[in-house]
Amino acid sequence: MEQREGLLVSVILPAYNVANYLDDCLESAISQTYTDTEIIIVDDGSTDDTAKKADDWLSKDGRIRVIHRQNGGLSAARNTGLHYAQGEFIIFIDPDDRIDKNLISKCMELLSDGSVSLVHYGYRLINENGVLCGKNFPDMLTNAEKLLPTILSDKIPSHSWQFLCRKELYSDIRFPEGRKAEDLATTYKIVAKAKKCVILPDCLYEYRVRSNSILGELTSDHSKAIKYYEDELLAFHEIIDWAIAQKREDYQNLAWNNELMHLFNHYKERIVIDDNLGTKWVHNKICKELSAFNVDGVTSSNRFKAFLFRFGFMPFCYRVMGKLKKRVKSILRKE
């Protein structure tokens, strides 16, 4: 299928204190085989050299635009990018990541068909030095019609950078400002609104695993962890309310089980690092969620975890598992 000319793609990079990675990201963006693009860097009040590096790129490629704003968080930066985007199509890239040179081209081959609204693809994992350390292929057993339920059940992550779509899908949708877990609160709306989704069987995005990432900070910072959990729960409740309004009990059950799975994982995390306040907080949320939902909709895995939780076995199991994992790592290091 040939690509029609004049189909502008807006590439939005919300950037905050990523001076060490921005050049690598932008090199991958300007090296795309599909060249009808505008690249919008939204400097979200960075305190390092990110703003200067972004401005330096203005003289290197005429497709690049830089917007400087006061720090407002990732959602606010993305929304600013959407406001200024002039393209018919939107793709988000986190500025510490990279994209395959053929990513946009492969997506646009499919989006040139007017019936397709969104293209979903897999991603590779790279470390802080840019070295490949893993892959996350799309689930090819999931067809376009099953993409939304697969995301709602967390079999596919709800990353906002894992798809390229028509800008019209964002016409009445914005990222929730002042909140974490913003992708969880947004992606399902975009996928649900799309007329037709296509899944590419390729890992075309490179996600950089960083020790000081938002998710990495959850382990060491109690207050940030609880803030993230609160926003995540709010997103899940919004999804469930949306599913109820759509009269989709299947979506409601998928989202609720996904929420419960996340809560059990957070409970384990807090127990393993001996965060008593965090453990108590998650414990209370699990109790509340279990009492509010129809038990018939609970998966077998969550039923088992709920049994361990109700009878007080879960903390013991998680602590034993945590100690065993540390022991195994210690043995492997010695070898």
Which amino acid, 115? S
Which tokens go with 199?
Answer: 């899944």
How much is the pLDDT for 1? 41
Query: Considering Cα of 19, then 25, then 29, then 31, what sign does the dihedral take?
Result: positive
Averaged over successive runs of 10 residues, the pLDDT of the chain (335 residues) comes to: 70 97 97 97 98 97 98 98 98 97 97 92 89 72 78 92 97 97 97 94 91 60 90 97 96 95 95 91 94 83 93 89 72 60
Number of neighbours of residue 334 by Cβ within 10 angstroms: 6
Q: Rounded distance, CA 281 to CA 235, Å?
A: 18
Residue 158, amino acid: S
pTM, two decimals, is: 0.90
- Is the Cβ–Cβ distance between 229 and 282 less than 8 Å? yes
Question: Cβ(95)–Cβ(195) under 8 Å?
Answer: no
Amino acid letter at 327? Answer: R
The Cβ of residue 127 has, within 10 Å, a number of other Cβ atoms equal to 13
Q: What pLDDT is recorded for position 165?
A: 98
Residues in the chain: 335
pLDDT at 141: 53
- What pLDDT score was predicted for residue 255? 96
Bridge partner list, 68: 43
Type of residue numbered 171? S
pLDDT for 214: 56
Record the tokens describing residue 238, joined without a space. Answer: 């919004």
